[in-house]
Amino acid sequence: PDIFLAAARSIAVNPAECLVLEDSEPGIRGALAAGMLPVMVPDLKPPSPEITQVVHKIFPTLHEVREWLQEVWK
């Protein structure tokens, strides 16, 4: 989680207010450990059942992430 926490610190944002876009399970685990909201866009390997239970959202492409963010942040 160190890199995520450092990024939040560098922009003076509380980690709990951060959303992390990740394509890997280690990245999702790091986001969770940092107390951030993990959103997954899997690359080659589909997410494991364990990750699907803990990740906030899973999207097939970044286009769907963009649409979701536009809806959430109207």
pTM: 0.90
DSSP annotation of 58? E
Average pLDDT over residues 39-53: 95
Which CATH topology does 2-72 take?
Rossmann fold (3.40.50)
> Cβ(7)–Cβ(25) under 8 Å?
no
CB 55 within 8 A of CB 42: no
Residue 74 has pLDDT above 90, yes or no: no
pLDDT category at 41 given cuts 50, 70, 90 is: very high
Averaged pLDDT, 36-46: 95
